[in-house]
Amino acid sequence: MKTRLTRFRLLGVAACAVLMLVACGKGEIEQQTQQTQQAGKCGELKMAVNPWVGYEASAYVVGYLAQTKLGCKVTYKNLKEDVSWQGFGTNEVDVVIEDWGHPDLEKKFFAGSGDGSAVDFGPTGNVGIIGWYVPGWLAEAHPDITDWQNLNKYASEFATSESGGKGQFLGSDPSYVQFDEAIVSNLKLNFKVVFSGGEAATITAFQQAEKNRKPLIGYFWEPQYIHAELKLVKVKLPAYKDGCQGDPAKVACDYPETPLKKVVSTKWSKSDSTAVALVKKFQWTNADQNLVAKYITVDKLSAEAAAKKWVEANPDKVAAWLG
């Protein structure tokens, strides 16, 4: 009897030991798996966020996928365009997810003419259209106002306390790709460029101009979600031709339609980060971007929540990026 009890006790202890080892092993495996998933092969992804909501939409969709699917530690840095490019050489920025065309920065940072710290990483799929716009009601009331050659006839109607007796042309953020002061001067238009300071202020100005039937002409662009809510009509400027913006001081032509692209750190592009392939494959449409921008601005979702909502609704596109 004593021998049998001893045997049972030994068997019980052995069983407990096995269970403890299994539990321990399972815990360690789960912990290691979690750590591997969190660290992944991605490491840190340093994403510049330039100051317009369309860019923010692209950045956070890519960042959300990098974090949740690839285990990246994503750092978002709110920077203007030229400052973002300077970060490539100092390892402070890995990705500029939406570039609207900066020949001056390419000359400075691309290989060949510059220090080689930046590299073109292909199209985003978006097409950027910059131009001069007026509210829809104004174009309907004065159809000829959409031709630059008739603008001086209406200049006094655009005058404000800030335009010094001339018509006011509303610029946006002066750090954007823009030649408005040169265009006004070289086309001999009786206007003064007054910068709003940024996207939000420009949108508000156009909304108020529509609501109050107040004349307004200014710099605007596509893709931009507001076009779905507010009718803006593009003013015809002298047609863009290759080289017409070569000298910023002599620009007297319209802006080109620009296939937007991704620009990344050359050093990062050659790393083994799993996010490299994601950024390389990322492409979507103006409608995709406008929808996420609407989630952020109109629906008041956080950028992360807006990205999550779009990602969950578009599994096929996401699968193509993740490969």
Handedness of CA 271, 277, 278, 284 (dihedral sign): positive
Residue 164 region by backbone torsions, left for phi larger than 0, else alpha for psi between -120 and 50, else beta = left
Residue 38 pLDDT: 45
pLDDT score recorded for residue 40 = 52
- 59 confidence band (pLDDT: 50, 70, 90): very high
For residue 323, the model assigns a pLDDT of 86
Three-point CA angle 47, 49, 53, nearest 5°:
140
Q: Which domains does the chain have, with CATH numbers?
A: 41-126+259-322 (3.40.190.10), 128-257 (3.40.190.100)
Residues with Cβ within 8 Å of residue 212, at least 6 apart in sequence: none
Q: Report residue 5's pLDDT band, with 50, 70 and 90 as the boundaries.
A: very low
**Average of per-residue pLDDT values in the chain:** 89
Kindly state the DSSP code that residue 143 receives in the 8-state scheme.
G
- What DSSP designation does 299 have? S
Global model pTM greater than 0.85: no
Q: Do the beta carbons of residue 221 and residue 120 sit within 8 Å? A: no
Q: Quick one: pLDDT at residue 41?
A: 86
Residue 263 has pLDDT above 80, yes or no: yes
